[in-house]
């Protein structure tokens, strides 16, 4: 039996839309860059138990037995499962499917646990490619620190301890499952948004600026790109037809509050994934002020930049 824990990652430069002709492999239309959050606070834990059998797969998610999903079957097809029975148990210690990257940590944990349990010993590049088949953003959860994903390439661009003062507060405004699943939502954007043709060039330009801001630990530049990217993702969603919307009143109020807090000096930055839960970046020295300013919006989980997945048990 193997148990793996994988972290979530929050994209600063967002992946939204797949490259034409490569949709089934989840190859992104634009490069993205994410921050892996520490595994001590938010994670998926996946247990894989292998016994003799004829290829059956049993799957429990958050203690409920379910059919393995199509995405899981794609991942499983890359492993030698014949003449074996595979029992997979996966638990998230945070809301599942609520725009908090549970598919990223979930698929990364699954791939790592299968690799160990079935002794395939895939190298990093192959693990990323298999995780990406399960969910595009999962390839970025295979590594810690600051991770760039561009086409078939995934690499750590800065380590987890490069910017030790950086913090990310997860602000949970609504733990319910999202109404617009990401895969179909991004397809609708690609097919119907007139603004989408600009997206790739903007992401490429911003990724260069973002890397410079991280290298120089320039919080103000980092924060501006971070918020602009979040806003552009949600603008593209609204420009899709029919429109897609993930943000709720609390999310808009959080955005307004942060711009108010930043009036004299930039101390915080928000980013939202495909859901209304906020990821707030700030520096350690401003944590207290930022927490106080956001009091009352919902449960807060304080994270640091973290390392990649770990094996917690081999039995």
Kindly list the residues in this chain that would bind ligand 2P0 in the complex (CB under 6 A): 11, 14-16, 26, 32, 103, 135-137, 182-183, 233, 273-274
Torsion of CA 12, 13, 15, 21, to 10 degrees: -160
Strands 43-52 and 57-61: unpaired
> Closest CB to ligand 2P0 among 31 and 293?
31
Instruction: Output the smallest distance, CB 72 to ligand 2P0, in A.
Output: 12
Instruction: Output the smallest distance, CB 136 to ligand 2P0, in A.
Output: 3
> Closest CB to ligand 2P0 among 81 and 230?
230
**Distance between first and last Cα of the chain:** 5
d(CA 220, CA 224): 6
Contact 79, 286 (CB under 8 A): no
> Closest CB to ligand 2P0 among 26 and 81?
26
Q: Which residues on neighbouring strands pair with residue 158, listed in sequence order?
A: 146
> Closest CB to ligand 2P0 among 172 and 261?
172
Instruction: Output the smallest distance, CB 274 to ligand 2P0, in A.
Output: 4
Q: Name the DSSP class of 274.
A: S
Phi-psi region of 204 (alpha: psi -120 to 50; beta: other; left: phi over 0): alpha
Instruction: Output the smallest distance, CB 181 to ligand 2P0, in A.
Output: 8
Contact 279, 247 (CB under 8 A): no
> Closest CB to ligand 2P0 among 50 and 274?
274
Count of CB atoms within 10 A of residue 306's CB?
22
Contact 307, 40 (CB under 8 A): no
Instruction: Output the smallest distance, CB 145 to ligand 2P0, in A.
Output: 16
**Residue nearest ligand 2P0, Cβ-based:** 136
Q: Tokens in use for 10?
A: 């929050």
> Closest CB to ligand 2P0 among 268 and 274?
274
Instruction: Output the smallest distance, CB 246 to ligand 2P0, in A.
Output: 8
Instruction: Output the smallest distance, CB 40 to ligand 2P0, in A.
Output: 21
> Closest CB to ligand 2P0 among 168 and 283?
168
Q: How far is CA 182 from CA 73, 148, 247, in A?
A: 19, 20, 14
């Amino acid at each position: 039996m193997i148990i793996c824990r994988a972290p979530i990652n929050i994209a600063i430069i967002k992946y939204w839309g797949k490259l034409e002709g490569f949709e089934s492999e989840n190859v992104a239309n634009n490069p993205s860059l994410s921050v892996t959050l520490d595994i001590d606070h938010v994670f998926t834990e996946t247990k894989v138990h292998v016994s003799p059998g004829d290829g059956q797969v049993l799957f429990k998610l958050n203690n409920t037995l379910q059919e393995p999903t199509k995405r899981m079957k794609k991942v499983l097809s890359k492993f030698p499962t014949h003449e074996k029975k595979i029992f997979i148990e996966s638990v998230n210690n945070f809301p599942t499917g609520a725009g908090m990257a549970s598919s990223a940590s979930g698929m990364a944990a699954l791939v790592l646990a299968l690799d160990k349990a079935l002794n395939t010993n895939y190298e990093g590049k192959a693990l990323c490619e298999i995780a990406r088949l399960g969910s595009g953003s999962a390839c970025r959860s295979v590594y810690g620190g600051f991770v760039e994903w561009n086409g078939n390439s995934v690499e750590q661009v800065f380590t987890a301890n490069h910017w030790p003062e950086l913090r990310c507060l997860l602000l949970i405004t609504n733990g319910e499952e999202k109404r617009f699943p990401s895969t179909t939502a991004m397809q609708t954007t690609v097919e119907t948004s007139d603004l989408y043709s600009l997206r790739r060039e903007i992401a490429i330009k911003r990724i260069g600026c973002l890397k410079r801001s991280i290298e120089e630990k320039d919080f103000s530049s980092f924060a501006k790109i971070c918020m602009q990217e979040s806003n552009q993702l949600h603008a593209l969603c609204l420009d899709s037809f029919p429109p897609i919307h993930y943000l709720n009143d609390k999310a808009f109020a959080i955005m307004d509050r942060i711009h108010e807090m930043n009036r004299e000096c930039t101390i915080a930055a928000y980013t939202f994934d495909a859901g209304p839960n906020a990821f707030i970046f700030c520096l350690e020295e401003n944590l207290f002020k930022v927490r106080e300013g956001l009091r009352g919006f919902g449960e807060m989980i304080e994270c640091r930049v973290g390392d990649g997945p770990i094996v917690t048990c081999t039995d």
